[in-house]
Amino acid sequence: MTPETDAAAEAEHVLLAIQGRTAHLTLNRPRALNALTRAMVRRIDEALTEWEHDPAIETVVLTGAGERGLCAGGDIRAIHDDARSGGTASADFWRDEYRLNARIARWSKPYVAVMDGIVMGGGVGISAHGNVRIVTERSRVAMPETGIGFVPDVGGTYLLSRAPGELGTHLALTGTPVGAADALLCGLADHYVPSTQLPLLLAELMSSPVREALPRHTHQPPPPGELAAYREWIDDCYAAETVEEIVDSLLATGIQEAKETAETLLTKSPTSLKVTLKAMRRARELATLEEVLTQEYRISCAALTSPDLVEGIRAQVIDKDRKPRWSPGTLGEVEDGVVERFFGTGRGQELGFPSVD
């Protein structure tokens, strides 16, 4: 395959179209559940640059091809291979991706993210920072990184640290997917639209502003969620200072759902859990998304040299035995110095943001 053929194939992974007032971004890798590559991130960024000051374009709409969802995240097989080889491709990808996340959050025009179906990891980053975020009865939104030896990124710790009470801490540590009602409760989405209404809504946006078209499709309530009923024990247990204390508190409640949550936590990477809790607590104190993304970038680059990232992806995606051998294997074995290393700046990897006009 020639470089020209490669470039053409990569261009087809993000389809661009202008219909009336609306510019459409369609993630188009349905067999990979629209997993993001660096080329896709760059194509989205270039399109936003072109459309930002185009007076004919009033709205940008983001959707995913296929029936399964918007986007399952980044290409973690590629991250696995890069981490094993000691390469820099993942760090380069994350730099572009996190800058795009910040750009979407600053976008001045309506950026309508259709969070239908599976929306995980990097899929959250290109949707939940938008200013018009739509979920449906099929939405399953998650930051599942602790299950692969990684830590929530793409501004996920910014979003989740600002969820009510300790709901975001619960989602960050467990990686639990949530439906429409819980995504709305946690501030990951703004509007519920039944999936059957999406084609009509998108058609109306070609000729009508979002403020006029959207209210015609948001009258129905979403299916009931779960988190509101669990709020009391979640807020109480996750207020503990350490992951060990959180697990102990969950087990001590006598509540079945809390016990199952503790058991879930104990299947995750112990190092990732401790780094994630520290990242979440620090994210609450950081004022801007850019500051949090800078922290996440340092953590992500450090994770590339952690054995748990390669092992987690191996167990969940490569071999699919679902039996990761974490190192260290227990929470008690994770030393404070190991956790602190993820927040350091000594690896020569800094995110940095281009100046904003």
Positions annotated as catalytic residues are 74, 122, 145, 153
Contact yes or no for 43/5 (Cβ under 8 A): no
Q: Give me the helix-helix angle, 243-252 and 256-265, nearest 10°.
A: 150
In whole angstroms, what is the distance from residue 327 CA to residue 304 CA? 14
- Alpha-carbon span 224 to 192, nearest angstrom: 12
Does residue 262 contact residue 219 with C-beta atoms inside 8 Å? no
Helix (H, G, I), strand (E, B) or coil at 246: helix
Cα separation, 32 vs 81, whole angstroms: 17
Cα–Cα distances (Å) from 313 to 80, 81, 330, in that order, read 6, 10, 19
| Alpha carbons 296 and 157: distance in angstroms, whole number | 8
